[in-house]
Amino acid sequence: MQSKCIKFARLGLQLAGIIPMKNSYNHFFSFKLLSFNGKLTMLVCGIISFMFAIQSELTKSFTAWAIFSVSVQLVLKQYTTHKNDFAKMLDDADRLLESVLTDQKAREIFEPMDSIRIKFCKVFVYSLLCYMPLNFFSNVLDYFSGRPLRNPFQLWTPFSSILLSFVFHSYILSMAIITESSYLNSIASVSLHVVSCLKILSHRLSKQPQFISKKVERETIKIHSDVIQLVALMNKNYGAMITLEILSASLQACFTGYQILVGLENLDSNLLVFFVVFIFIWELPFIICYCGQEIETESETILRALYQNLWHQRSPENRKTVFFQMLMMSKPLKLHFRNFIVFNFAQLGGVLQSAYTAMAMMRLLFI
């Protein structure tokens, strides 16, 4: 059995050129438009844009930084996903869920988590898809209101004309939509698979009878072990990239917040565009910290359930199994990067507070 969310995540990664597709002749291929060379070319043009814009006005510098940041993230995601076996991780998550969804109650627990993933992905994709029409509408509004036309996403060289810069920006945005949405969906799918498995295990441990068979014991230990291994694999594959994503989001949030404040004072026609960008920036860090918080909370719940299930009244064999599970869950599972940064709501709150402080300082200095 393969869950729909894993199928969708794999398809998105294949469309993004991150994992290869297999045709009917068992030959693997990937989309060249979104290959590593295409993203590397975009990174070079982003660097050129940033170097020329840094000598220009402040808002153009912020926009060039956003283009440069997206370019760097897309190239690094392409590199890290090729270096790590993402397809194997998706298969492991799917097999883990298949071993857990054996009754109706387990399916009832899983369905709300899958709906959360779908809602997150919808908000992410809709914010990206609304970006271009809003930007076009603001330019049309400037034209009919007699304001000077601006091209905030113009790359100063070699794309000096408005038309060429618009085409190149559309190319960047198309790659960002496909790559970022597929990356987000893969993270959300695997993370929420882990959260669902932990919730199901927690429910089973709380309702577990005093005496259970050896088969049930072995299955429970196997699921615990698979969850721990999958979380370790997620930390290995996602840790560095998520850290860079949160760092970039905090910097871009300062710049976008500054642009929103300036737009509110000057009644800028791009104000809605800035709000959409702000939502887009924080979507991925929020879902990562949400999943990390859920994994940490559910693992603590499992540990409490192990202590509260009258283990001292069980037979010696059952007691040995419970002790082994307690050792496995002695520390809460966490999404982290080398135990240096833990991805949870506390981390997200700290990043938001730092971004707000920096934005307030920029407002005092430049407005």
Q: CB neighbours of 48 closer than 8 A, spacing ≥ 6?
A: 155, 156, 157, 158
Q: How far apart are CA 290 and CA 348, in angstroms?
A: 9
- pLDDT at position 293 is 92
**Structural domains in the chain (count):** 1
Q: Is 107 helix (H, G, I), strand (E, B) or coil?
A: helix
Q: CB neighbours of 50 closer than 8 A, spacing ≥ 6?
A: 64, 65, 67, 68
Q: Which pLDDT band holds residue 218 (cuts at 50, 70, 90)?
A: confident
Across residues 336-352, what is the average pLDDT?
88
- pLDDT at position 156 is 47
**Which of the pair, 300 or 178, is modelled with greater confidence?**
300
With the C-alpha atoms ordered 312, 317, 322, 327, is the resulting torsion angle positive or negative? positive
Q: List the structure tokens of 218.
A: 């072995």
Across residues 324-352, what is the average pLDDT?
83
Query: Is the confidence at residue 22, as pLDDT, over 70?
Result: no
Q: Which pLDDT band holds residue 272 (cuts at 50, 70, 90)?
A: confident
Q: What is the DSSP letter of 3?
A: -
Q: How far apart are CA 264 and CA 283, in angstroms?
A: 23
Residue carrying the six token digits 């709380």? 206
> Taking all residues of the chain, what is their mean pLDDT, rounded to a whole number?
72
Q: List the structure tokens of 131.
A: 């970006």
Closest CA to 221 of 321, 133, 358: 321
Across residues 150-161, what is the average pLDDT?
50
Q: How far apart are CA 201 and CA 152, in angstroms?
A: 51
Q: Which pLDDT band holds residue 24 (cuts at 50, 70, 90)?
A: very low
Q: Which pLDDT band holds residue 170 (cuts at 50, 70, 90)?
A: low
Burial of 6 (0-12, 13-18, 19+ CB in 10 A): buried
Q: Residue 360 phi/psi, 5° resolution?
A: -65, -40
The answer to whether 171 and 155 have CB atoms below 8 angstroms apart is no
Range of the domain at 243: 4-366
Question: What angle in degrees, to the nearest 10, is found between the helix axes of 162-206 and 36-53?
Answer: 120
Q: How far apart are CA 59 and CA 176, in angstroms?
A: 21
- pLDDT at position 52 is 54
With the C-alpha atoms ordered 154, 157, 162, 164, is the resulting torsion angle positive or negative? negative
Across residues 36-57, what is the average pLDDT?
57
